[in-house]
Structure 1
Amino acid sequence: MQKTRWAILGPGAIAESFAKWLPGSEHGELRAVASRDPERAAVFAARYGAEASGTYAEVLARDDVDAVYVATVHTTHAELAIAALEAGKAVLCEKPLAPSADETERVLAAAERAGLPVVEAYKHRFSPLARAIDDRLGRGQVTTPLHVQAHFGFAAGSRDGRLFDPDLAGGAIFDVGGYPVSFAVSAAAEAGIELSELHLANPHGRVEGGVDVFSSASVEAPGFTAFVECAIDTQLPKSADIVGQGGWITLEDAFGDRDLSPATLTHIHEGQSHRIEVAQIHPFAAEADAVSRALSEGRLESRAMPWEQTRTVARLLDAWHAGVMATG
Structure 2
Amino acid sequence: RDPIMRAFSEWSMFALGWNWDGNRNFTDAITKKVRRLKTCNETLWQNVSLLRELPTNELRQYLRGCFERGKAMMYVATSMYVVCILHALRYFDRSQFLFLRYEDLMQMDSDSVVTLLARFTGMYVDAQVLRTARAEGKCQAHSPRSKKPMSFSSSSAYASEMLSAASTHLERLFDPYNHLLAELVHPSFTWLAKDHHKKPLNATEKAAHLKREAEAEEKKKKAKERHKASEAQLKQRSNAWVKGEDLELKLKKIEERKYAECKRAFDQLSLVPLCLRLDASPEKCNVSRVKTRPCLFVKNKCRSSSMSFPQFCGRMPGL
Normalised-by-shorter TM-score class: under 0.3
Normalised to the residue count of structure 2, the TM-score between the two structures is: 0.20
More strand by share: 1
Select the structure with the greater relative contact order (CA < 8 A; seq sep ≥ 6).
Answer: 1
Q: Find the structure with the greater CA-based Rg.
A: 2
More helix by share: 2
